Structure 1
Amino acid sequence: MADGVLDPFVDRVQALLTQLDAGQRKALARDISRHLRGSQAKRIRENKNPDGSPYEERKPQPEMRKRKGSLRMFRKIHRTKNLKARASADEASVGFTGFSNQVARVHQYGLRDRVNERGLQHKYPERELLGLTDKDRDFIEETMVKHVDDALNG
């Protein structure tokens, strides 16, 4: 995810966020990270970039033709065991763990990686697994305003 995506909004509410205690900020971060984890997982299952465009299709593979069912990519990477939401009083984050982190990094940035044990390498196309959609940005903004409003008026 690009750094500074929410900077204009955060700058506007920074003074209000400092009025929240650590517990309230952590609750806000937890709400945001849980929602983002769910929306990222849903988008990955649908094989879509944050802008709504489909991922570039994988190269045809002979062994895949034998299988019945979907040829979707990233069939298991979106699961909770691989895609974690983390929150603290200072930040909310969503990211991959373990080997899934390596696979996601290669696809996120379109890097070169080994295909098999023999060392055959391939340059993968860029497929944006993690990123904010307009709906995500709206949710973050609404949630921040709601938490700050509840804290100051409640």
Structure 2
Amino acid sequence: MADRADDLLIYREAVSQYLERLEDAERRRLTRSLAFQLRRSQQQRIRAQKAPDGSPWPKRKPRKDQKPASRAIRFLYRKGSGDERLVDMRSWVRKGNMLTGFDREAEGLRTFRADRIARHLPAEGGADPGPIAGAIKARKGSVRRKAQTMFTGLRTAKHMKAGSTMDEAYVEFTSRASRLARIHHFGLKDRVVPDGPETQYPQRELLGFSQADDEAAMELVYAHMEGRL
């Protein structure tokens, strides 16, 4: 084990010396590749709902334990891209054309435009409650839906940015998404709805550098040394 650790240290020193000899432009290109590789690994891990050490995230509470404060509503929501996704809302309020409440599919507070509701769905275990006043009818055509997992939006390139400098590669959430990410990453308290009671969220590490990330980074540098990158 000691010999293996010594070999790894020698290898790291050789890689470090190699990076120092690179031209600035080439080093920036390599760190940029590292940043995008690191973002992909973070996205895959979030999709798998695992911590950087490989342990699974705390499971969601069973839905039967979540008591809605108002009538539950479910609908297909048309996003700006034209795709549609399932929304399952609890503790919601409506102000004008906007619906705000806790979306259990996204596990967070969300706001939706009523005129973008494509189709209303029955609440789980109940009859179809009918449309919300002011909502439009479902449009014609096929409904495209993807399987929804926790933090689907947070792991997209829109909210998870990969960046680099000449000396480092990094992945971070945009300012718009960072507050929500921080709450879940550290397991903090937050209000499900404005002026409502605080809820303690379980800790789910969204970003982290794992051993697999370390090995993948070393392999990327090694590929560059061999001229394969």
Please give the range of the TM-score, normalised by the shorter of the 2 chains: 0.7 to 0.9
What SS does the aligned partner of 1:36 have?
Answer: helix
More strand by share: 2
Asked if the contact 1:20–1:148 (Cα under 8 Å) also holds between the matched residues in 2, the reply is no
1:40 alignment partner, one of 19, 39, 42: 42
Cα distance in structure 2, aligned partners of 1:88 and 1:39: 20
Q: Which of 53, 56, 74 is the equivalent residue of 2:55?
A: 53
Q: Hey, what's the Cα distance between the residues in 2 that align with 1:34 and 1:13?
A: 20
Q: Is 2:149 the counterpart of 1:72?
A: yes
- Give yes or no for the alignment of 1:126 onto 2:128: no
Look up the match of 1:22: 24
Aligned identity (percent) is 37
Structure 1: distance between partners of 2:16 and 2:56: 35
* Secondary structure, aligned partner of 1:141: helix
**Alpha-carbon shift at residue 145 of structure 1 (Å):** 2.8
Q: More deviation in 141-150 or 88-97?
A: 141-150
- Structure 2 residue aligned with 1:31: 33
SS at match of 2:219: helix
Q: CA RMSD in A?
A: 2.8
TM-score normalised to the size of structure 2? 0.54
- 1:146 aligned to 2:223? yes
Preserved contact between residue 17 and residue 148 of structure 1 (Cα < 8 Å): no
In structure 2, give the amino acid aligned to 1:111: L
For residue 131 of structure 1, give the secondary structure of its aligned residue in structure 2.
coil
| Residue 40 of structure 1: how far off its partner (Å) | 0.8
Larger radius of gyration: 2
Residue 100, structure 1, aligned to residue 102, structure 2: no
Partner of 2:15: 13
Matched residue count: 144
* Residue pair 1:82, 1:96 contacting (<8 A) in 2 also: yes
| Structure 2, unaligned runs of 5 or more | 1-8, 68-89, 91-103, 106-122, 125-145
Change in 2 beyond 3 A, CA 1:76/1:146: same
Higher helix share: 1
SS in 2 for 1:84: strand
**Amino acid of the structure 1 residue aligned with 2:58:** E
SS in structure 2 at match of 1:145 = helix
